Amino acid sequence: EIVMTQSPATLSVSPGERATLSCRASQSVSSNLAWYQQKPGQAPRLLFYGASTRATGIPARFSGSGSGTEFTLTISSLQSEDFAVYYCQQYNNWPPWTFGQGTKVEIK
Amino acid sequence: EVQLVESGGGLVQPGGSLRLSCVASGFTLSSYSMNWVRQAPGKGLEWVAYIYTSGTTKYFADSVKGRFTISRDNAKNSLYLEMNSLRDEDTAVYYCATHSGWYAYWGQGTLVTVSS
Q: What is the pLDDT of residue A44?
A: 98
Q: What is the pLDDT of residue B72?
A: 98
Q: How confident is the model at residue A16 (pLDDT cuts 50, 70, 90)?
A: very high
**Per-residue pLDDT at A88:** 98
pLDDT digits (tens, 9 = 90+) for B80-93: 999 999 999 999 99
- When pLDDT is averaged across residues A16-33 and rounded to a whole number, the result is 98
Which residues in chain B have their CB less than 8 angstroms from residue A89's CB?
A: 45, 102-103
β-strands B33-39, B18-25: how paired? unpaired
Q: How far is A15 from chain B (nearest CA, A)?
A: 25
Bridge partners (DSSP) listed for residue A87: A36
User: Residues of A near B (CB-CB distance < 8 A)?
Assistant: 32, 34, 36, 38, 42-46, 49, 55, 87, 89, 91, 94-102
Please report the pLDDT score of residue A42 as a whole number: 97
B96-107 tens-digit pLDDT? 999 999 999 999
In Å, what is the CA distance from B29 to each residue of A13, A71, B52, B96?
A: 40, 32, 11, 12
Question: How much is the pLDDT for B24?
Answer: 97
Beta carbons of B68 and B80 less than 8 angstroms apart: no
Nearest to B57 by CA among A89, A95, A99, A49: A95
Q: Which residues of A touch B62 (CB under 8 A)?
A: 96
Q: Is the dihedral of CA B90, A85, A20, A88 positive or negative?
A: positive
Q: What is the DSSP string of chain A?
A: ---EEEE-SEEEE-TTS-EEEEEEESS--TT-EEEEEE-TTS--EEEEETTTEEPTT--TTEEEEEETTEEEEEESS--GGG-SEEEEEE-SS-SSPEE---EEEEE-
Q: Do A97 and B50 touch (CB under 8 A)?
A: yes
Specify the pairing of strand A33-38 against strand A85-90: antiparallel
User: Using one digit for the tens of pLDDT, what is the confidence trace for A77-102?
Assistant: 999 999 999 999 999 999 999 999 99
For B67-92, b/e burial (b = at least 16 CB within 10 A) is ebbbebebeebbbbbebeebeeebbb
Give the pLDDT confidence score for residue A94 in this predicted structure.
95
| Per-residue model confidence as pLDDT tens digits over B33-81 | 999 999 999 999 999 999 999 999 999 999 999 999 999 999 999 999 9
pLDDT in tens, B2-14: 999 999 999 999 9
- Which residues in A lie closer than 8 A to residue B61 (C-beta atoms)? 95-96
pLDDT in tens, A36-55: 999 999 999 999 999 999 99
Q: Could you say which DSSP state residue B46 is in?
A: E
Tally of CA atoms within 13 A in the half-sphere of B9 that contains its CB: 19
Task: Provide the pLDDT confidence category of residue A26 given band limits of 50, 70 and 90.
Answer: very high
How far apart CA B105 and CA B47 sit, in angstroms, is 14
